[in-house]
A and B are shown apart, each in its own frame.
Chain A
Amino acid sequence: MTDQSVAAVSLTGVDKTFDAGRAGAVTALSGIDLAVAPGEFVSLIGPSGCGKSTLMRLVADLERPSAGTISVFGKSAHQARLDQDYGIAFQAAGLLPWRSVRANVELPLQVHGMGRAGRAARADELLELVGLAEFAGHRPDQLSGGMQQRVAIARALAERPRLLLMDEPFGALDEMTRERMQGELVRLSTQTGCAVIFVTHSIPEAVYLSDRVVVMSPRPGRISAVVPIELSDRNEDTREEPGFFAAVTAVREALRARASVELS
């Protein structure tokens, strides 16, 4: 099953329409074809309403496609969810407020029946990984937004998923924290070797993190361009390199090209 030739995620001809009651049906996604390789970091970017979150939620099996097929590591999205093949992080950290930081990280392990000792060891490891070891006993409301989000990421990584789904996890953070978190995420995804689908509306963020940036456009939501990012490695200086600016420009132009087509 760890065959490298099997795509981490593969979508073919996927449509998604929502029933909007009296207003009729709203087409959120139309004709989506996308493949994500194991270990690949792919960002979905586009204006509000382009269906980027919906696309991620389809992969997570939190929504069902209206047409087309979705496979995750060669299985149906439904089976992949049952098999716990992915970890997920949302825009809101979504920590359980009555649990300690440690108990929040342990939550997925606990619901899947891992023993107390194993859970504790894994939680220590993960909190070390996200730099929050000394906050293990704190309650979520004693942590800053950025720290809460790191706990949520640690929780998403708890079961060593081969695929990480992230829906604007840094959306509510200030710019400084955001850049630091991006650095940490690059490090984490390299260390763990998991594939990532990352939803964002920040161009520099998408460029900094990704192997490929998928540019989407709204009404109906579709993929308008895929921009490969070729940066040698990511570090503190990456955001000041000419290659980075060139990639940012390429993504911006892909977004704008689509917008101008709409205006004309």
Chain B
Amino acid sequence: MTIVLATRRILTPVLAGVLLLVFWQLVVDLRDIPGYLLPSPEAIGTQVRQNFSDILTASRASGTNALVGLLAGIALAVAAAVVAVWVPPVERLLTPLASAVSAMPIVALAPVLSIMFSATSDLPRRIVVAIVAFFPVFVTTVRGLTRIEQVHAELMRSYAVGGWTLTRLVRLPGAVPYLFTGIRVAASLAVISAVVAEYFGGLQNGLGSRITSAAANTAYARAWAYVVAAIGLGLVFYLAALAAERLASRGRVPIS
């Protein structure tokens, strides 16, 4: 029963995607749309096959930037959230700032950071990713840390403990599902910002730089091939984060 439902849930969007590709191919073929306007899925597929090893290399470069930045952003966000909940003035300072910054196009920082650091370094991109990933994780973790059940708070009060013991035993484990919700949002943003940050120059090793250079050489089908890879990379991050979130909110902390 559940297997049937799961298959249906997966099968329907997959089917829709296939239909869209068929429609795309037909439109390009029948209406003779030139390749520089819209390459056909077939042409893009050929490019993916021809550049497969380079696609993997570029995906690895962008993926590493996204992963390193994401992990750094998560670590900083959790630490900042713990401090913010502990010291209310910090929370009052950081939360509005987090909302404001999350509305800003942080990737726009990439060229500035490239100048600050060496242009042959991956560091500026990783910093951009870390900043982008920081805010959703910070906001959800603060929410999780502050949403403590009254009965748990009173229980710990009756034990005459607070501070770090309360944070470690009640607040942090209680915030775990919230943290992973933040990570799911941050994971998609991490890939987007890692790829887009490459549009602004610097090292020419990732998917973003491959897309811009292919487009600059009017190799549109090849540019699309790298876009497909970027979509794939984003999906990998999203699905990994989703699986982690499911795991965290179901089993939570392993049973001793």
Contact = CB atoms under 8 A, between A and B. Distances in A.
Interface residues of B, number: 21
A138 B173 CA distance: 17
Contacts of A86: 158
Contacts of B157: 62, 81
Given A62-B154, A103-B256, A139-B255, A98 B176 contact: yes
Contact of A102 (B151, B161, B173, B256): B256
Interface stretch (A5-13, A20-28, A87-95, A213-221): A87-95
B170 interface: yes
Contact of B160 (A84, A137, A139): A84
B29 interface: no
Which of the four size classes fits the interface of chain A? 20 to 34
Contacts of B174: 96, 98
Interface in B123-155: 149, 151-152, 154-155
A88 B155 contact: yes
B161 A111 contact: yes
Contacts of B149: 94
Interface string A53-82: 000000011100000000000000000011
Nearest to A88: B158
B165 interface: yes
Contacts of B155: 88, 90, 94, 107
Interface of A: 60-62, 81-82, 84, 86, 88, 90, 92, 94, 96-100, 102-103, 107-108, 110-112, 137-139
Interface of B: 149, 151-152, 154-161, 165, 169-170, 173-174, 176, 252-253, 255-256
